[in-house]
Each structure stands twice: as structure tokens, then as C-alpha cells.
Structure 1
Amino acid sequence: MTTTEQSVASTPSPAADSAARNLWMHFARMGDHPARPVPVITRGEGAYIYDDRDRRILDGLSGLFVVQAGHGRRELADAAATQAETLSYFPVWGFATPPAAELAERLADLAPGDLNRVFFTTGGGEAVESAWKVAKQYFKLRGEPAKHKVISRAVAYHGTPQGALAITGVPKMKKDFEPLTPGAFRAANTNAYRNPQFDGDPEGFGRWAADRIEEAILFEGPETVAAVFLEPVQNSGGCLTPPPGYLARVREICDRHDVLLVSDEVICAFGRHGHTFACTKFGFVPDIITCAKGMTSGYSPIGAMIASERVMEPFLADKVSFAHGYTFGGHPVSAAVALANLDLIERERLNQRVLDNEQALGDTLRKLLDLPIVGDVRGDGYFWAIELVKDKSTRETFDAAERERLVRGFLPAALFGNGLYCRPDDRGDVVIQLAPPLICGPAEFAEMEQILRQTLTDAAGVL
């Protein structure tokens, strides 16, 4: 690259310059701009995004675990336009709209068991917040007001609202916003790679991990615990999959102590694991499902809390209401887009595509295990993580300075510059997260592996 070309490449575009001056970006360090130009994404097509220099980048994270059907799907945009021309907005505060009613029925049909009651939000964190509030009021209506606490898992992320953040098990994400909503407590997660309790017996490890949830319930007192929140595959910490029998045992524990089980599927639902809801794949029926992201493939914002008839029953009593809601929850345009997206997923058999290709995706990523920096590759469906280590033989992780150089300094720009958008993350140990659109196949898997190989080989130079 010539000096002139380097100058042009480093010159911020008008959108990047405007963003540096006015846009408060999420989970982003703002002090680096405008000295370091803000990356600007201008369009998407299929599994690829394009920046303001018209570089093509493979979207290895589906935006943010969202774009199941890929970018640029005209039928989803058309569904939004058609609904906006008919009815652009009306709240579901005591009213219904045809798309909201139809979507609620569709989700009830797709959910397992008798999870038939759908409360709409605009995102996942709001769905988690709603689920905790429902759990608290549910037990109050049953005459058990002391049951208000929640058990979640270490390093688990459940959202940013004050209640959802309290449920989140990542201390460094919470410290700037304390005091949080009281009543949330933690149990061990299922990170077999890092847990010395794992001795090569997955079922035994699953029993041990599930028993830690029961231990937490007993320690707090079952008469005070309202719910257990868990993701079928835990995101934060790097795609922590459930050992065999683990989720069924947690279900039994919750039943034994009259505790609601919430399956947080904000990431895991809508095909990410080859089923509409991941709890179906992993063989358990929760009392509540929280979901969002992939419901519309990101073409319009929506989320939902889906509750069982058992949970709904006390709310049907005379003069009882759930005093909670969101202005844009169940937005008619978003609901119409979600219906079109569910049609698309079914028509193109994207769930089956994931089931057919998940082994190939895992096998392709596991090729990276020959690199000294790669300690573990784990995941399920189209949701995978690569754990990076300082010393492969001892599994030693990186210190704070090394994390700074690697996770925030080198990897994001290097991966993006090499043509792959994905997520370096160190909320637990250092991982790279991958969740490609469900339309991807072996060709995209190979491209991801090649870019990751080049980038992780180069990473040795910054450590």
C-alpha cells in the first residue's frame, strides 16, 4: 500500500466522523475516536456485510447473534412496509393487533408443553426483566411473597436492565451500576474445560453442576427462591454446552423445590441450535422462555416472554393485572416481520440446515486446535467459541495487560481487516465467539477458519 493509499484508508468517512462526534455507541470505548475511525457498516447481502470503503466482510456473528436468515432479504423488508402502510403502531396495553395476536399464537404453537402465553417486549434484556417480575408476582398471588430470589450461573450474561443485570453473573459488568436489584445469586456453570470437577465423565459432571444449583436453592432457602435462569448453551464464558442429563436434572430440582425454571433463549432460539427453541433440542420443558434476536432476523426489534399455563393461572383471577409493559412491545410492524421470518425459516428449512451442518462447522473450527494459542473449541448448532490460552499444556490464561493487547487492541481490528466480523470476548476466559447466519454452509465455514488461522498466527506477535 502506498503512502497515499494508507492516508486515504485512515481518513474517516463522513459517517465515521459524525459517529465520533455524536453517536454514543454501546459497549464501546468512546475516547479512541476520532483518532481511530469508527467502523461504519453500510449494507449487507447474504452472509456478508460491507463497510464504507466497500470492503466485503463475512458476518461471523450474525450481527449480534441475530441475522438468522442473512442480510438483504426483500420479503422481510416488504412485510415491514406492508404492515406500516396498514397500521404503523398501536400498543398492546389492553388491546390487540392482528399481527401481534397471530404471532402470539404462532409462538405458542412452536413452544414446548403448555407455554401458551406470550408477553411481548422490544428486546432480550426486557424479556428477562419481565420474567423475573412475573416470577415475583406469581408467588405473591399464590400467597408466598417471600419467594423472590433468583439463581443463575457464574459468568452468565442475561441483559443490561437493573434486574437482568443483577441476574448476570459477570461482576465487572455490574460494578459501575451498583447497587442493583437485590435477590440474585450464583451457582457454578458447565465449563468443563476450566472446571477441575470434570474428570472425563460428562454425565457425572452434569450431575455435579446441577447439584450446585440445588445447593444454592437450599442455602438461600427454597421458601425464598422464585426462579432459576439459565441459557441452554451459555453465551458469556464461551458457548458452555450442557452436559448429558444436566438440564433434565435442573428441571427435577426446580420441581422439587417449587421454583420456576426460565430458559433464557435470547440467543439460542429461532434456529441457532437447529430448533425453534433450544430447550426442545436439549430435552426439557421450562416454565418460561425468554427470546428475542433471531425472531425477526434483526429486520425489526422484538422480544418475548413465553409463559406456561401454570404461570399464567393466578394472573387470570378477578381484578388481577401484571402492571408492566413497554411502549413498543408487540409493535405491529415487528410482529409482521417476525411472522414473515418464521415463514422464511420454515420454507427454507433453516433449522434442518443447521442440524445437517453443525458437525461440519465444529470439525472445521477444530482444525484450529493445532495452533499454540487455541486451547479449546466448543459449541453446538451454529453457536461456537474458540478459547485462547497463553500456555496450551497448562491451560494458563492471559493476564490483564495481555488481555488488553489481545482482546481490545489486536483481535477486533485484525479480524475485521482480514475479512471476518466476529467477537473477541473476555467476560470469562478469552474466547472468540462465532455464530454465522443460518444460511451459511461449508464454504463460509472454510473461509472463517482460514481467516482465523491467519489472524491467530499473527496474534503471537502482540503477546
Structure 2
Amino acid sequence: MTTTPIETAGAGEDDQLSRSAYDHLWMHFTRMSTFETEPVPTIARGDGMYIYDTNGRKYLDGLAGLFVVQAGHGRVELAEAAYKQAQELAFFPLWAHAHPAAIELAERLAHYAPGDLNRIFFTTGGGEAVETAWKAAKQYFKLTGKPMKHKVISRSIAYHGTPHGALSITGIPDAKKYFEPLVPGAFRAPNTNFYRAPEHGDDLEAFGRWAADQIEQAILFEGPDTVAAVFVEPVQNSGGCFPPPPGYFQRLREICDRHDVLLVSDEVICAFGRLGTMFACDKFDYVPDIITCAKGMTSGYSPIGAAIFSDRIMEPFLQGSQYFPHGYTFGGHPVSARVALANLDLFEREGLNDHVLANEDAFRATLEKLYDLPIVGDVRGNGYFYGIEMVKDKTTKETFDADESERLLRGFLSKALFEAGLYCRADDRGDPVIQLSPPLIADQAHFDEIEQILRSVLTEAWTKI
């Protein structure tokens, strides 16, 4: 890893940047009023596992930016790949034309993908990939003589993106209420939050069967002749990293096959090493009909996403005058595609997937040390993707009410963790959780640093309840 000197702004310049950010920059998912009187945290650079603000202060990146920077910050070879490609061909669309970088990346992704998922439709991000998957599923069934199949089933509290179609699939009411009415035809089933499923006791497999069967019940209730697809994340992000119970995806695959419903594996977060495999469906031994992915494909060094389709879905689009009237100007951008290829080369050269598989148990064990704190109710996840659920009472699993959650997460934890040197995510879409998703280069020393900061801040948080 090449380390460069920290370039920081002077105090006056830093204040000016913060003021300009508040005056002109509309930050995403952000309460802008927060920064009317407080400075905007401004990150100037990154190196390896760490990021640095404009004052030169160092923070451990416990979220890989936003589940993105798999290979770590400051990878010069990825920047050089972008520079070289931009010199050769900075841009050309994939509208009835191709370019070498997109062709090579499509072939590479088809090689990694399971089964017959051989057709790659490039986007610029994950929400667009989900949007693409739903539109393609609708048209596929129209082309194959089942025009009523247009609905989708997703899971409670699941996040699938912000475009109107993807937002309709999303299962978070607060994320949708300002934008309704949305695209009709999206329905919800229970997720795999075993911590909040006391009626199943300790039988994780029975819970998994029940959770999968609830999706079948939703299909049957809506009518199998109207349901096109089921959208599920391998490990559900929103709500705090819900892993699938044993056998869950095998049963879900059977259900989808029985009712001729497409199984979409939304791997925008979970693909490209987050769980230790290139595609997360391989970790849990199932073959979907469609994979949506983005984020880690380039380790965040340039934006790109993709929907990956099986040969079966592609087949009717290859006939006669049929085509998919859908696309994005920057989908499969030459620079992004070339960076993705360089990133995948880096994955193989440095064995990042194997590194995650070799260290995931140590990561879990280190986080599980926090169970001795009264505020920690559950530690769950897979690979390098974990959520820590906070509770008021460990015995009863009593959670915080809305006011307490507001004071705990936004009033204290988010700022306190950052000030303590850890960038991560405190979230209450569902029950209050802290989410961790470090770059895939993390090792035991980083796990220990994360645990020590969490221990200190959570101990203080408990005194404020």
C-alpha cells in the first residue's frame, strides 16, 4: 500500500468548505438542519483501512465507505486502470454498439456467476440494477405468453434502492411515504430475523422453512399467475444483517420453480467478497434466475452495476424483432468497466475472498465479546458483514421506543462513534443496530480496534438510557 502525505486544509479553509457544503451540497439521506450550526464531516482521502478528514484526523473505515471499498483505499493500480482507459476511450454507450472493456467484463462476470447466468446488462448502480431486473421479468413473461405475471414479492424492512420501481420493492415504509403512489404490484413477506422469532424457539431450520413458506403464501394469495419474481438479499441489509437459516434458499428455489416465479438474488451489497465468495448465492448454495450487483465490483473506484440474467430469460429477447426497450447512458461505462476488471484481477492476485473466509470466524468472535455489555442483544451476519442489535433488556429483548431510539442513535451514537475514530452505521430501520462492513483487507488488529471503540462508546451509551 502506497502512503502519501496527508494533505489538510487550514482552519479557515476547512470552515469555508463546511459552510459551502451546507449552502450548496444536498447530502443523501441526511438531515440538512443538523449542519446549520455544526461542521459537515468532510473526508479528504483514504489509505488502506483508514480515511482522513480535512483536519488530518484518522478514522477506521468500518463500513467500507458504504459496503463498497472491498480492496481498501488508495489502490493505485485501480486509479491507473481508469487513467489508461480514459486515454484510450473515455466514453461510448452500449446502445447497439459494444466496446472491449464491457465485453471483457461481461465475459468475466458470466464466468463467476453460477449456473447459466451468462447475460449481463450493465447499469451505473444497484438501484438501477434492481429496476432493470423487474422490468426484464415483466417483459419476459409477456413474451412467453404469461402477460399477467408482473408482481413481485420482497421481504419486510428490506432495502432494494431508490428509483420508483426499486423503491416499490423496498420494504421500509418511512423510505417510501413521501414518494407514494409508487409502482403497483409489490408485496411483502416476513424476513429472516431469527432474533425476533421467539415462537420457533431454538430451531433455526424450522424457522427457515416457515420464513420461506411465508413467501409461498404471498405468491398463492396474489395468485401465481400474477407474480413474476421474488427479490431477496442473501444477507438482508436493512434491519441489521439477517443471514438466511439453513435450507432457506433451497426451499425458496423449490417454491419459485413450482410457481414459475423468477428468483432474484439482490447482491448489491453481498457480492464481490463481502461474504467471502464472488457471488453470495454460492455461499448459500443456490442458483437464482437473476443477480443484481454493484458496489464492490470496482471497490468503489468508479460507479458501475449490473443485472445478470440466465440464458432462459434472455432467450425470448433473441427472437426476431424483440428487444428490451431499456438502458442507461453510462451503463457499462468504459472507464468503470476497466476499473472493475483491474479490481477483479486484484481479488484473484491477493486472494481477498479466501482472506475473508479465513478470518470471518475471528471477526464474529471479536464482535461477540461485546455480549458482556447490557446494551448488546444480538450479533449477527456473515463474512465481513455484521449487525449488532441494541436492546433495553437482554432477557426480554425489549427494544427502544421511537424517542429513545432517536436519542440513542442520532443524538449520541452516530457522532460518538465517529469522534472515537470509527466510521460505521447506526441505524433504526427496524430495531436499533450498528452495522459493520470493513474493507476485505481487514485483519485481527482491525477487528480488535473496532471492538475496543464499540465497547467504549456502547458502555457510555448505556449510561445515557
User: Which of the five TM-score ranges fits, normalised by the shorter chain?
Assistant: over 0.9
Q: Of 312, 316, 319, which aligns to 2:318? A: 316
Aligned pair 1:120/2:160, yes or no?
no
Report what 1:167 is aligned to.
169
Report what 2:442 is aligned to.
440
Q: How many angstroms does 1:9 deviate by?
A: 8.4
* Contact 1:290-1:306 within 8 A present in 2 as well: yes
**TM-score normalized with structure 2 length:** 0.97
Report what 1:240 is aligned to.
242
* Contact 1:387-1:430 within 8 A present in 2 as well: yes
Q: How many angstroms does 1:10 deviate by?
A: 11
3-state DSSP class of the match of 1:147? Answer: coil
Write the letter of the residue equivalent to 1:218.
L
Sort the Cα spacing of 1:12 and 1:36 in 2 relative to 1 into closer, same or farther, 3 A: farther
Q: How many angstroms does 1:197 deviate by?
A: 3.3
Q: Of 199, 207, 218, which aligns to 2:220? A: 218
Q: Distance in 1 between matches of 2:199 and 2:205?
A: 12
Aligned pair 1:46/2:48, yes or no?
yes
Report what 1:371 is aligned to.
373
Measured against aligned partners, the alpha-carbon deviations of 1:55-106 in whole angstroms (never above 9, x if no partner) come to 1100000000000000000000000000000000000011101000000000
Structure 2: gaps spanning 5 or more residues: 1-9
Measured against aligned partners, the alpha-carbon deviations of 1:194-232 in whole angstroms (never above 9, x if no partner) come to 123331111111111110010000000000000000000
Q: Of 23, 30, 33, which aligns to 1:31? A: 33
* Contact 2:374-2:462 within 8 A present in 1 as well: no
Q: Distance in 2 between matches of 1:180 and 1:132?
A: 14
Q: Of 81, 84, 106, which aligns to 2:83? A: 81
Report what 1:111 is aligned to.
113
Q: Of 401, 404, 407, which aligns to 1:402? A: 404
Q: Distance in 1 between matches of 2:58 and 2:48?
A: 11
**TM-score normalized with structure 1 length:** 0.97
Structure 1: gaps spanning 5 or more residues: 1-7
3-state DSSP class of the match of 1:228? Answer: strand
Q: Distance in 2 between matches of 1:304 and 1:131?
A: 9
Q: Of 87, 94, 97, which aligns to 1:95? A: 97
Q: Of 347, 350, 358, which aligns to 1:348? A: 350
Q: Of 387, 391, 400, which aligns to 1:385? A: 387
Q: How many angstroms does 1:36 deviate by?
A: 1.1
Q: Distance in 2 between matches of 1:85 and 1:326?
A: 22
Q: Distance in 1 between matches of 2:132 and 2:409?
A: 33
Q: Distance in 2 between matches of 1:197 and 1:116?
A: 42
Q: Distance in 1 between matches of 2:60 and 2:36?
A: 25
Q: Distance in 1 between matches of 2:211 and 2:108?
A: 34
Report what 2:335 is aligned to.
333
Q: Distance in 2 between matches of 1:9 and 1:294?
A: 34
* Contact 2:116-2:310 within 8 A present in 1 as well: yes
Report what 2:287 is aligned to.
285
Q: Distance in 2 between matches of 1:336 and 1:311?
A: 27
Write the letter of the residue equivalent to 1:40.
T
Q: Distance in 1 between matches of 2:12 and 2:442?
A: 31
Q: How many angstroms does 1:460 deviate by?
A: 2.0
Q: Out of 29-38 and 339-348, give the one that drifted further.
A: 29-38
* Contact 1:12-1:38 within 8 A present in 2 as well: no
Q: CA RMSD in A?
A: 1.1
Q: How many angstroms does 1:11 deviate by?
A: 9.8
Report what 1:230 is aligned to.
232
Q: Distance in 1 between matches of 2:19 and 2:194?
A: 45
Q: Distance in 1 between matches of 2:346 and 2:433?
A: 32
Q: Distance in 2 between matches of 1:390 and 1:11?
A: 43
Report what 1:68 is aligned to.
70
Report what 2:429 is aligned to.
427
3-state DSSP class of the match of 1:193? Answer: helix
Q: Distance in 1 between matches of 2:95 and 2:461?
A: 52
Measured against aligned partners, the alpha-carbon deviations of 1:111-147 in whole angstroms (never above 9, x if no partner) come to 0001000000000000000000000000000111100
3-state DSSP class of the match of 1:144? Answer: coil
3-state DSSP class of the match of 2:195? Answer: coil
* Contact 2:14-2:54 within 8 A present in 1 as well: no
Write the letter of the residue equivalent to 2:263.
L
Q: Distance in 1 between matches of 2:295 and 2:243?
A: 20
Q: Out of 403-412 and 220-229, give the one that drifted further.
A: 403-412
Q: How many angstroms does 1:12 deviate by?
A: 5.4
Report what 1:5 is aligned to.
none
Report what 1:3 is aligned to.
none
* Contact 2:68-2:269 within 8 A present in 1 as well: yes
Count of residue pairs the alignment pairs up: 456
Q: Of 272, 297, 300, which aligns to 1:298? A: 300
Q: How many angstroms does 1:42 deviate by?
A: 0.2
* Contact 2:159-2:237 within 8 A present in 1 as well: yes
Aligned-pair identity (%):
70
Q: How many angstroms does 1:34 deviate by?
A: 3.0
Runs of 4+ in 1 over 4 A off after TM superposition: 8-12
Report what 2:7 is aligned to.
none
* Contact 2:85-2:338 within 8 A present in 1 as well: yes
Q: Distance in 1 between matches of 2:245 and 2:33?
A: 42
Q: Of 175, 184, 187, which aligns to 1:185? A: 187
Q: Distance in 1 between matches of 2:12 and 2:329?
A: 41
* Contact 1:12-1:37 within 8 A present in 2 as well: no
Q: How many angstroms does 1:150 deviate by?
A: 0.1
Measured against aligned partners, the alpha-carbon deviations of 1:222-244 in whole angstroms (never above 9, x if no partner) come to 00000000000000011100000
Sort the Cα spacing of 1:248 and 1:29 in 2 relative to 1 into closer, same or farther, 3 A: same
* Contact 1:10-1:37 within 8 A present in 2 as well: no
* Contact 1:11-1:37 within 8 A present in 2 as well: no
Q: How many angstroms does 1:33 deviate by?
A: 1.9
Q: How many angstroms does 1:403 deviate by?
A: 1.1
Report what 1:361 is aligned to.
363
Q: Distance in 1 between matches of 2:444 and 2:338?
A: 32
